[in-house]
């Protein structure tokens, strides 16, 4: 075991942040710390690294623990080059290497036993420390994290903030501490560098703790999830995908327990109020007794980020024709040609992700489709009955002087107050939050307002430019669910690979001289790209498309049916277990066995249904 946190607490200015943090890290663990913004994830990393003190509890660290913590402020020497910073990590090896060269020179004329023994000892030590591979390892990590051959000779003082962060990360990876602490390590990395880091961390010989909003990265790297909710930790020994499924089921159970307790508290409180209203000694004493009963109830905290059970009709007001968008031989030019020979054909009910290198012109393509920019050459055609709604990264459509509520109310005057509140609640605007002025909102909050508006427009063609930017994980999940239930067509840009995996039915890669189409989600696109075998899709068979959509709806209906059956069986098992506690049953051996046999049969059926449910996901 490397570290163990036991019942750690931490408050800031008297306000509790961490109430009970308990988990342990073993060698080779790859751990992701999950929680909403402000849950205390970075604080936990600082406590483990020794940069932050904790109030109560215990933190055990192995005596042999070496720790690397990627900080926002770096202690890199400004007068050294990128390559020299990496080379410093191997300074002890370089000392040995230089001495070996000296000994080799001496051995050409001095064959004394002392020289030979020193050479043998240092050669063995050098080999044991992988001394012969350090130059290739150093270059591999620096290039993997995005440094070009030329940039290896740049002085640190010439680097941008993002490049310095990458260099600090490279240095730490090369040092190979027993425990790596990484806070948002994918910041400042392009897609190729992120892919490199994922592979490197998967094969990292020691333990890693990650804090990240990149769910795809977490799922690729981690084998354990530590969830922080309401200041308390819970450990899941699984990957993120499995955790996400388990969490959804657990949320439903937690909400049920919370609501049942709230109902009971309300009932007791109403009884107390009624008894006190009689203003008689006997009733007052009964009220005092009930108050003591109420005080003894250990309150269940409301689970964080519970998905709302509210459902909103985001169905398009009309269906489009089968052909939605056709782009033919498109070229866009500013001073020079940005891209050319772009051919894209999008059909009804497709969910198409547009990907490509930074600066290739993805947003420019969208603006050209929207007629904000004129094409240099080529044609853009919309199909019949296409109603388009556009999500803009800059949120330029919002009225900054309005409140959130007024923004929705003014744009959708037929909606009732309850409908407006329910719609906003889906994107976590609740209670008085809806009366915040838009000018005071963060980028993520503005994004959530625009997404609410987009979905309420009941358009049948959504064009979305980076819709997950600034969204926390809970808001991303709400958006994913909404888009997957949407019956229209979606064309979107996103750097969020997990989001693309969940939403896309096709991926189009934009290059400077063509658009390459891949059937499937991000994983399919990436695997085909790696083996250089793009799955081209020029036309979509209409009958095949209808069949796929029908199969999807059939699959969803099956899942709902199985979930209902699971719920019914669980209720039956609970009822029978309660019967087993009855004294009359406990005293009736035959009845007890009969009920027990029924429970076993129902549990077998439940296990079969759970397997069926997992297979349908």
Domain ranges of the chain: 68-241, 249-296, 323-540, 549-616
pLDDT at 595 over 90: no
Question: Which tens digits make up the pLDDT trace of 322-337?
Answer: 999 999 999 999 989 9
Position with higher pLDDT, 547 vs 338:
338
d(CA 279, CA 170): 74
Q: What does the CA dihedral 8, 11, 16, 17 come to, rounded to 10 degrees? A: -70
d(CA 426, CA 455): 11
Q: Which pLDDT score, from 0 to 100, does residue 445 have?
A: 85
pLDDT at 580 over 80: no
pLDDT at 545 over 50: no
> Do the strands 30-34 and 207-211 form a parallel or antiparallel pair, or are they unpaired?
parallel
Q: Which pLDDT score, from 0 to 100, does residue 502 have?
A: 94
Domains 68-241 and 323-540 share a fold: yes
pLDDT at 381 over 70: yes
pLDDT at 226 over 90: yes
- Mean pLDDT for the stretch of residues 354-370: 92
d(CA 70, CA 175): 12
Residues in the chain, overall count: 617
Strand partners, 232: 20, 229
- Mean pLDDT for the stretch of residues 198-218: 94
81-95, 531-545, 549-563: lowest mean pLDDT where? 531-545
Average pLDDT, the chain: 87
- Mean pLDDT for the stretch of residues 356-377: 91
Return the closest-CA partner of residue 76 out of 183, 185, 160. Answer: 160
Q: Which pLDDT score, from 0 to 100, does residue 543 have?
A: 42
- Mean pLDDT for the stretch of residues 354-365: 91
pLDDT at 308 over 50: no
Q: Which pLDDT score, from 0 to 100, does residue 465 have?
A: 93
- Mean pLDDT for the stretch of residues 244-257: 85
pLDDT at 546 over 80: no
d(CA 234, CA 224): 11
Query: For residue 310, what pLDDT band results from cuts at 50, 70 and 90?
Result: very low
Kindly tell me the sign of the dihedral angle through the C-alpha atoms of 194, 198, 203, 206.
positive
- Mean pLDDT for the stretch of residues 379-405: 89
Distances (CA, A) of 356 to 191, 192, 372: 10, 11, 21
d(CA 143, CA 213): 24
pLDDT at 552 over 70: no
- Mean pLDDT for the stretch of residues 237-250: 89
Q: Which CATH number fits domain 323-540: 1.10.10.10, 3.90.1150.10, 3.40.50.300, 3.90.1200.10?
A: 3.40.50.300
pLDDT at 533 over 80: no
- 155: DSSP letter: B
Q: What does the CA dihedral 608, 613, 614, 616 come to, rounded to 10 degrees? A: 130
Q: Which pLDDT score, from 0 to 100, does residue 606 have?
A: 76
Query: For residue 519, what pLDDT band results from cuts at 50, 70 and 90?
Result: very high
Q: Which CATH number fits domain 68-241: 3.20.20.100, 3.40.50.300, 1.10.10.60, 3.20.10.10?
A: 3.40.50.300
Question: Which tens digits make up the pLDDT trace of 212-222?
Answer: 989 999 999 99
Distances (CA, A) of 370 to 444, 453, 461: 24, 18, 12
pLDDT at 537 over 70: no
pLDDT at 600 over 90: no
Question: Which tens digits make up the pLDDT trace of 28-55?
Answer: 999 999 988 788 999 999 999 999 999 9
Q: What does the CA dihedral 108, 109, 113, 117 come to, rounded to 10 degrees? A: -30
d(CA 350, CA 507): 10
pLDDT at 243 over 80: yes
- Mean pLDDT for the stretch of residues 446-470: 90
Position with higher pLDDT, 282 vs 468:
468
Position with higher pLDDT, 188 vs 167:
167
Q: Which pLDDT score, from 0 to 100, does residue 72 have?
A: 59
Q: Which pLDDT score, from 0 to 100, does residue 556 have?
A: 61
Sequential DSSP letters for 94-145: HHHHHHHHHHHHHHTT---HHHHHHHHHHHHHHHHTTGGGHHHHHHHHHHHT
What DSSP element (H or E) covers 382? strand 377-382
pLDDT at 130 over 70: yes
Q: Which pLDDT score, from 0 to 100, does residue 73 have?
A: 63
d(CA 310, CA 172): 47
Query: For residue 429, what pLDDT band results from cuts at 50, 70 and 90?
Result: confident
d(CA 517, CA 348): 16
Q: Which residue has the tokens 């796929």?
A: 548
Q: Is the pTM of this model over 0.75?
A: no
d(CA 518, CA 536): 6
Q: Which pLDDT score, from 0 to 100, does residue 239 have?
A: 93
Strand partners, 388: 461
Q: Which pLDDT score, from 0 to 100, does residue 483 have?
A: 92
Q: Which pLDDT score, from 0 to 100, does residue 510 have?
A: 95
Question: Which tens digits make up the pLDDT trace of 487-515?
Answer: 999 999 999 999 999 999 999 999 999 99
pLDDT at 462 over 80: yes
pLDDT at 569 over 90: no
């Amino acid at each position: 075991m490397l570290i163990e946190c036991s019942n750690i607490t931490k408050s800031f200015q008297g306000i509790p942040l961490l109430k009970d943090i308990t988990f342990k890290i073993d060698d080779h663990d790859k751990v992701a710390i999950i929680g909403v913004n402000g849950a205390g994830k970075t604080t936990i990393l600082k406590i483990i690294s020794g940069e932050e003190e904790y109030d109560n509890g215990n933190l055990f660290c192995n005596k042999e623990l070496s720790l690397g913590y990627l900080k926002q402020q770096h202690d890199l020497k400004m007068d050294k080059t990128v390559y020299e910073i990496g080379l410093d990590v191997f300074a002890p090896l370089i000392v040995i290497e230089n001495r070996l060269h000296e000994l080799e020179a001496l051995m050409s004329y001095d064959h004394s036993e002392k020289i030979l023994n020193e050479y043998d000892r240092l050669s063995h030590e050098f080999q044991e420390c992988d001394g012969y591979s350090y130059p290739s390892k150093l270059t591999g990590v620096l290039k993997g994290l995005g440094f070009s051959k030329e940039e290896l000779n740049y002085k640190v003082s010439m680097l941008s903030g993002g490049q310095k962060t990458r260099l600090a990360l490279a240095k730490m990876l090369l040092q190979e501490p027993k425990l790596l602490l990484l806070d948002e390590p994918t910041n400042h990395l392009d897609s190729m560098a992120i892919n490199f880091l994922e592979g490197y961390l998967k094969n990292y010989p020691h333990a890693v703790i990650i804090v990240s909003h990149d769910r795809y990265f977490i799922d690729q790297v981690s084998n354990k999830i530590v969830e922080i909710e309401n200041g308390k930790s819970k450990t899941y020994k699984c990957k993120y995908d499995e955790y996400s499924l388990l969490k959804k089921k657990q949320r439903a159970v937690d909400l049920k327990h919370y609501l049942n307790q709230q109902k009971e508290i309300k009932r007791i409180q109403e009884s107390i109020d009624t008894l006190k209203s009689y203003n008689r000694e006997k009733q007052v004493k009964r009220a005092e007794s009930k108050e003591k009963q109420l005080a003894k109830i250990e309150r269940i905290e409301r689970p964080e980020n519970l998905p709302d059970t509210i459902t909103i009709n985001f169905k398009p007001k009309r269906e489009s024709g089968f052909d939605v968008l056709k782009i033919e031989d498109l070229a866009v030019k500013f001073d020079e040609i940005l891209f050319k020979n772009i051919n894209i054909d999008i059909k009804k009910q497709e969910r198409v992700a547009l990907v490509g290198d930074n600066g290739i012109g993805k947003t420019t393509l969208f603006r050209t489709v929207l007629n904000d920019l004129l094409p240099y050459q080529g044609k853009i055609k919309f199909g019949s009955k296409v109603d388009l709604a556009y999500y803009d990264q800059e949120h330029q459509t919002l009225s900054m002087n309005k409140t959130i509520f007024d923004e929705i109310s003014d744009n959708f005057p037929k909606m009732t107050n309850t409908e407006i509140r329910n719609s906003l609640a889906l994107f976590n605007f609740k209670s008085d939050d809806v009366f915040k002025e838009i000018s005071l909102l963060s980028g993520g909050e503005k994004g959530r307002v625009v997404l609410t508006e987009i979905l309420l427009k009941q358009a049948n063609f959504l064009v979305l430019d980076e819709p997950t930017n600034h969204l926390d994980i809970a808001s991303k999940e709400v958006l994913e669910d909404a888009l997957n239930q949407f019956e229209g067509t979606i064309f979107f840009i996103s750097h969020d690979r997990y989001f693309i995996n969940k939403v896309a039915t096709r991926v189009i890669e934009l290059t400077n001289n063509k658009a390459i189409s891949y059937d499937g989600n991000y994983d399919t696109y990436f695997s085909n790209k790696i083996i250089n075998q793009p799955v081209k899709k020029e036309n979509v068979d209409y009958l095949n498309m209808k069949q796929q959509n029908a199969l999807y709806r059939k699959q969803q209906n099956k899942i709902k049916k199985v979930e209902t059956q699971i719920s019914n069986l669980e209720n039956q098992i609970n009822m029978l277990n309660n019967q087993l506690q009855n004294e009359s049953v406990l005293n009736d051996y035959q009845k007890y066995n009969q009920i027990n046999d029924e429970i076993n049969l129902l549990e077998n059926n439940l296990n079969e249904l759970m397997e069926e449910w997992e297979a349908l996901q």
